[in-house]
Structure 1
């Protein structure tokens, strides 16, 4: 049976700096997400392809580093006291995120975000720290293949969406499902174990925190959880009052409406010219009927919803006219 390791885990500046870089990238993404949410930035960060790729790259980086850290900390023998202490901190932090987002975003609160995933994945990864490498590789590939290749409407329900097989993304501000993302942690475990087995871990120690920028990155990487917990309250705490004072102008609001409408329309398979006509029609209807409150809140009143439905039908008729009888 594995016992508590007597020797401390090795610390590599390169890994700490990697966490620091991922952390800076995450803060940049969330800053622009906030700007988009508060309508200072016309691009829908949560849907734009470039921003989505950026966000998933950041997520993959964090999860890969989780796998690396697990091998370095517990690869020879699981340090149970350290493991349970960190897991308890992660679970408490994840619960705090859920509570806070229920208060701020009740319709899109975070119920299985990055911290929830790291806590669960850390526990799930323990058997793979010493399992045969071929088995870890096979499981990682199967998890990633299923995550990217299988879906079923059954998993659209919130209760099952954390597995990752939905056909329609659930309404939440952060979701990191087991499939395919646990496969990234396993991939990191395989990579790190191969480096250790080949005697090449020393190559990671070549990079030192030898100058102020590198030392700053390494220090950031050692405070990842704390910075993750405080950065969004600080960002929103600064930007939200600013939005109340400056209030994004009508032109910006209209541009954002058209951009989001065009993206949704094109994703539905309608041609670009038809989408332009449809969205311009919709914008005119929203302006003429003063429906911005219902559009911006995402929760229109029954009368606003009825007006929006009428506009949608009228604009749809422009691009899909009913054939005369």
Structure 2
């Protein structure tokens, strides 16, 4: 007999909640310019985010198996699905007002909702069938991608190239495959009696109880944690503004362009930082932000860039001579 609630499952879900909060807090700090971590673009950060998403989808598949393997409990399933759909709609609406064109069109909650519908027919089948279905969906991007799926209409499939930016994008391919994989693993665990052995793990120490508590309330925590964290960082930013995000972006983009031409990361970063400081000292930085294509401003910026590229310490030397 499979227990109604597994401590180990709540623990895993709770640890995923903690990881999610760490990622989002790091993103908030980066967004407001308190840190220069590449949270949105860095490969390591993307791997971290994808691991978190995969853990929620995998546990969702386990939950489907444990709840419905003896027979689909339609009322429970529909109630859970309705909560997730409403939460997903709320996330889309909130991010539309917060991030405009970068709002969440098909994020983790949208994916969990649709993946649950896809996985539901497999709950009464063997773990091997679910595993094959998981492998099929997981590999879809490798052999089924097509320009026919490009654009907004088919963005949820994950088989085309989206024409938008988004703060959260989790399409069905390959991610629904993770839910099916969770379903298959849970069914296999039941078949081989592994869940029964795992019931002995209770995690009764303080850390374990806290993680299990977070796991039991993962959906409401998901909905409230980012507005709270974002609001806190925003409030600190109002009192003590961090580094200028535009300045950070300028140095980053300038350095990348410089490296493409000269392949010298240290020199390029120093030269671009020097250029930025000159632009601010010359009083044209704000004007460039307003009218970046204005020829006169671009000429002055290019001259300063050439000067700094020839001598990355040029601004430091000028600054020292004026003290």
Question: Per the shorter chain, which TM-score range?
Answer: 0.7 to 0.9
Structure 1: segments with no counterpart, 5+ residues:
1-6, 296-300, 319-325
1:282-301 alignment, distance < 5 Å: 284=275, 287=280, 290-291=284-285
Q: Which residue of 2 aligns with 1:304?
A: 292
Q: Which residue of 1 aligns with 2:63?
A: 69
Q: Which residue of 1 aligns with 2:83?
A: 89
1:259 maps to 2:247: no
Equivalent pairs counted in the alignment come to 302
8 Å CA contact retained: 2:10, 2:215: yes
Q: Which residue of 2 aligns with 1:22?
A: 16
Structure 2: segments with no counterpart, 5+ residues:
307-323
8 Å CA contact retained: 1:261, 1:279: no
8 Å CA contact retained: 2:7, 2:212: yes
Deviation at 1:273, TM superposition (A): 2.3
Of 161-170 and 76-85, the range deviating more from structure 2? 161-170
CA deviations 1:48-91 (Å, max 9, x no partner) are 11111111111111111000000001111111101101111111
Deviation at 1:244, TM superposition (A): 2.0
CA distance in 2, matches of 1:161, 1:196: 36
8 Å CA contact retained: 1:153, 1:168: no
Deviation at 1:200, TM superposition (A): 1.9
1:132-281 alignment, distance < 5 Å: 132-148=126-142, 151-167=145-161, 170-249=164-243, 254-255=247-248, 257-259=250-252, 261-262=254-255, 272-273=263-264, 277=268, 280=271
Q: Which residue of 2 aligns with 1:43?
A: 37
Q: Which residue of 2 aligns with 1:4?
A: none
Deviation at 1:40, TM superposition (A): 0.5
CA distance in 2, matches of 1:139, 1:264: 44
Q: Which residue of 1 aligns with 2:110?
A: 116
Of 106-115 and 271-280, the range deviating more from structure 2? 271-280
Deviation at 1:25, TM superposition (A): 0.4
CA distance in 1, matches of 2:201, 2:61: 20
